[in-house]
Structure 1
Amino acid sequence: MLSKILMPSGGQTTDEMLIQKWNKHVGDTVKRGDILFEIETDKAILTVESFAEGVLLEVRFPEGVMVKVGEVVALIGNPGDLDQEKKENQKQKQEEKVDRKEKRDAVVNKELVAETDTPARFNGSKKILASPLAKSLAKIEKIDLEKVARFVSGNLIKKADISRYLREQTKAPVETEIESDHYFIDNSQIRKTIAKRMRESLNTAPHYVISVDVDMTAAIALRNKLNKNGLSKQGLKVSFNDLLMKVVAKAVESAPLVNASFSENKLKVFRNVNIGLAVATETGIIVPVVHNVNKKSIAEITADSSRSIARVKNNQLTESELQGGTITISNLGMFGIDRFTAIINQPESCILAVGGISKKPVVVNDAVVIRDIMNITASFDHRIIDGAVGAPFLQKVRELLEDPELLLY
């Protein structure tokens, strides 16, 4: 039995996707669960598994082509099945051809009736023959029929002559390409969507930004202790992002509006904290989501985030791993960035921009000491989160990082 492989859905905001790579080729044997091809959505590169078994008989779209959701991209079955499919397609095409011919003949007959010789007199003396359709189009486009008459060779001006005249008048001069000081790179689908989403976010949500410096001395000690005495035996390595996820989920308890999204009639406040972690790839930023962070231990958060980051780098993410985020963390500390601001990932209402940890002089008990300092800059959607909510939330994040034992309460 012939099985049709359709382009899957890429999410609510995606109606077409790019076929990036075929992992199977025509003639290959395919088993259920085999990865057939990879697609690039507006969020990530995803793999598509086969639900059918048999031989890959036909690939309808090559790599590098945009395909609409629901389109048939491949056929799997037995070789004899393909002959039957071709016969059915030929029959359908013949029926469509006959239908198009009948419609075209009807249009032509109607046009012939309308395109009758109708004289038009201009400047009191010169007679110009034009069809009613031509005169109507000339009037709409504000074209002098005398100019068209000098342009065409026939005695009767028709609608097609007006259209051809318009095309000739609007042709732009061809510029000769010369060597220049720049070159072009094609935008990926991900990059196009990032540009669109960031513009929409700034146009939709009135951002405001606040920033704090955090003494990471205690957090560093806790991370080292966890990695040395416990989690390393499980094959896990806690990152500062993992600690920050746990801290953010705890801080949301005192500021639930930070974990919400805006609509005109109601605010949608989420009970679970689902944190997206912005990961840089060659094609753009991808944000896998760790779900239910508020219900997980640091070990569980570390395991989930490590797995997601690995799947991003290996192009193995599923759509469910990219959806449902309520807060995003973007960390550029590994690039030597001390502080920056980030644009909110709609429809979320908060994004935390995390800088690198660096040694700085600070005053502790009236004495100047050197401490490991990290900056966190939060961008909030002012439609939901006022300064009286955002500031205490960020202060709570700092308090928990500087005294992580408070996470136990």
Structure 2
Amino acid sequence: MSIEIKMPALSPTMEEGTLAKWLVKEGDQVKSGDIMAEIETDKATMEFEAVDEGIIAKILVPEGTDNVKVGAAIAILAEEGEDASSVETSAKSDTPRPTKSDTPQPTDPEFKGRPDPSDPNAKGNEGEKVERTEASAEDHGRPDNAGAEPTPATPSGGDGSRVKASPLARRIAAEKGVDLAAVSGSGPNGRIVKADVEGAGAVPSGAKAPDAAAPAKAEAASPPVAPAPAAKPAAIPDVPHEATKLSNVRKTIARRLTESKQQVPHIYLTVDVRLDALLKLRAELNQSLEGRGVKLSVNDMLVKALGVALVQVPACNVMFTPDQLITFARADISVAVSTPSGLITPIIKEADSRSLSSISTAMKDLAARARDNKLKPEEYQGGTASISNMGMFGITQFDAVINPPQGMILAVGAGEKRPVVNGDELGVATVMSATGSFDHRAIDGADGAQLMKAFRELVERPLGMLA
């Protein structure tokens, strides 16, 4: 029996995706675990593996197709020994065909002597032919339709005209004792549908039932409301240009950051941090780790410092919900990584308790796979706080946008030589500006200040984060 291959939900937030590339073609044999396609989700481009074995009989969605809904059929898989050409033919049909398993046959004892319910031309079914076709959308998928008792008689209106009703509505009317001639239909051309019958009570034949379609009629009688005009696209200047289609990742970034700035009240707190002690410790550690092939970056050490600071100030390691404030027991730090398709934030889990060498190794692996769109959903979804470092670009200070539902993000600028005062003496030190963006619904300014103070102390006296 053929199997529908459906668009998978490759992330909890995925509702639709782009079928970027097929890695199989019609007629190919696949087995469980084979990579069949690359799918662009709202976060990254991911590989889609086969679950069942068989032959690709028909590809229903060509590669490059956008906005494919989760759960939509994208291909047909024929089982071993099944005729692929017959699968293709049935896949083209818009109306599902009843099979032996779901339609009782006339040879069954219960149906002996009755017309075949699957044949609209059979004797006794002529009057149902039109209704069966027009009501297919309402009745399709109900397991009890196939075995339902045929309506013994076709109700007629008072003037002798035939009452228009779907087969499902007729069956429900027969069960409830509702006279269809006394029910007004809200379906196309006044057809009586399921909702009309369910809204009507049992009444004696010839009595007028409550008009279940009255609200619909009243609504139809009222003047139509003109739809709101669609937003006009921005006028493109008459200048030579190149238009690039937005990727799903870029669309998601735009939507989430817009929501963050519109819905999350940001408060910004900035501190200047001396880096000399951290740079000295980094040089010593790299010298000792050289034999293991590990080289710490400044960012690795800042991730560690933020993780320890969040555990020291748990009031900032939080998430705001409409009716709860969630306080996390550990610090999972999302690190902003720029990729060709947009920004993504792989997570260093348990950053507060991991060793610096472990953070460095994990960060290099995550960043490399992020740029190749090879991250798994669990590697970039979640996190309790974020860090964004633009120091390598020479940016000295900036404000970052919070990544909901997290409660804060730390923006790190470049370290530069600045004049500093040491007691009564003027000196020079390597100083970095760091700005924390906090969700003011969840984090008070004083708590945010405590976190920034703890972070600065850990960076300026870095042995504290290793204890």
Same fold, TM-score > 0.5, yes or no: yes
Cα distance in structure 1, aligned partners of 2:131 and 2:339: 49
SS of the residue 1:75 aligns to: strand
Aligned residue type for 1:21: K
Q: Report whether the alignment pairs 1:345 with 2:389.
A: no
Work out which of the residue numbers 203, 215, 224 in structure 1 matches 2:274: 215
CA distance in 2, matches of 1:407, 1:285: 28
Say which structure, 1 or 2, has more relative contact order (CA 8 Å, 6+ apart): 1
Q: What SS class does the counterpart of residue 187 from structure 1 fall into? A: coil
Residue in structure 1 matched with residue 149 of structure 2 by the alignment: none
Relative to 1, partners in 2 of residues 1:179 and 1:85: Cα closer, same or farther, differing over 3 Å? same
Q: Please list the CA deviations of residues 48-78 of structure 1 after superposition, one character each: whole Å capped at 9, or x if unmatched.
A: 2222344433322222222111222233454
Equivalent of 1:294, from 349, 352, 359? 352
Residue 397 of structure 2 aligns with an amino acid whose one-letter code is R
> 1: distance between equivalents of 2:343 and 2:291?
31
| Partner Cα distance (1:14, 1:322) in 2 | 14
Determine if the alignment matches structure 1 residue 335 to structure 2 residue 393.
yes
Tell me the equivalent position of 1:407: 465
Contact conserved, 1:27 with 1:57, CA < 8 A, in 2? yes
Instruction: Assess if the C-alpha contact under 8 Å between 1:2 and 1:78 holds in 2.
Output: no
TM alignment of 1:8-407, pairs within 5 A: 8-65=8-65, 66-76=67-77, 77-78=79-80, 80-86=82-88, 88-89=90-91, 90=93, 92-93=95-96, 101-103=133-135, 110=190, 140=223, 180-181=238-239, 184-230=243-289, 232-407=290-465
What is the CA distance between 1:257 and its match in structure 2?
1.7
Tell me how far apart the structure 2 counterparts of residues 218 and 62 of structure 1 sit (CA, whole Å): 57
Identity, % of aligned pairs? Answer: 38
Amino acid at match of 1:386: D
**Count of aligned positions:** 358
Query: How far apart in 2 are the matches of 1:103 and 1:343?
Result: 51
Q: Deviations over 1:205-248 (max 9, x none)?
A: 21100111111111112222222211x43333222221112111
1:227 aligned counterpart, secondary structure: helix
SS of equivalent residue, structure 1 residue 195: helix
Cα distance in 1 for residues equivalent to 2:42 and 2:273: 35
Q: Partner letter of residue 400 of structure 1? A: L
Could you say if the C-alpha distance between residues 109 and 45 of structure 1 is closer, same or farther in structure 2, counting changes exceeding 3 Å?
closer
The 2-side partners of 1:407 and 1:49 are apart by: 42
* 8 Å CA contact retained: 1:2, 1:81: no
Paired residues of 1:35 and 1:47 also in contact (CA < 8 A): yes
Contact 1:352 1:377 in 2 (8 A): yes
Q: How far 1:259 sits from its partner (Å)?
A: 1.0
> What letter matches 1:102 in structure 2?
E
State how far apart, in whole Å, the 2-side matches of 1:216 and 1:324 are. 30
Instruction: Find the counterpart in structure 1 of residue 147 from structure 2.
Output: none
- Contact map agreement 2:347 2:383 (CA 8 A) in 1: yes
What is the letter of the counterpart of residue 215 of structure 1?
R
Aligned mates of 2:343, 2:335 — CA distance in 1: 10
Structure 2 CA distance for partners of 1:386 and 1:81, relative to 1, 3 Å: farther
Moved more, 319-328 or 359-368: 359-368
In structure 2, give the amino acid aligned to 1:389: D
Change over 3 Å in CA distance of 1:240–1:26 after alignment to 2: farther
After TM superposition, give the deviation of residue 2 of structure 1 in Å.
4.3
Alpha carbons of structure 1 residues 101 and 401: separation in structure 2 relative to 1, 3 Å: same
- Partners of 2:356 and 2:83 in 1: how far apart? 53
Q: 1:329 to 1:85 in 2, by over 3 A?
A: same
Instruction: Give the secondary structure class of the aligned counterpart of 2:428.
Output: strand
Higher share in helix: 1
Distance 2:340 2:425 in 1: 46
Listed one character per residue, the Cα deviations across residues 295-327 of structure 1 (whole Å, up to 9, x for unaligned) are 311122122222111111122111111212110
**Cα 1:369–1:3 shift into 2, 3 Å:** farther
Structure-2 change in CA distance of 1:404 and 1:78 (3 Å): same
Aligned counterparts of 1:372 and 1:31: Cα–Cα separation in 2: 58
Gaps of 5+ in 1: 112-135, 143-165, 172-176
Q: Is the 8 A contact 2:19 2:62 kept in 1?
A: yes
- CA displacement at 1:141 relative to structure 2: 5.6
Q: Distance in 2 between matches of 1:200 and 1:278?
A: 18
Aligned-partner residue type, residue 74 of structure 1? A
Separation in 2 of the partners of 1:81 and 1:297? 58
TM-score under structure 2 normalisation?
A: 0.68
Which ranges of structure 2 fall in alignment gaps of 5 or more residues? 99-117, 119-128, 137-163, 166-186, 192-218, 230-234
Indicate the larger mover: 250-259 or 38-47.
38-47
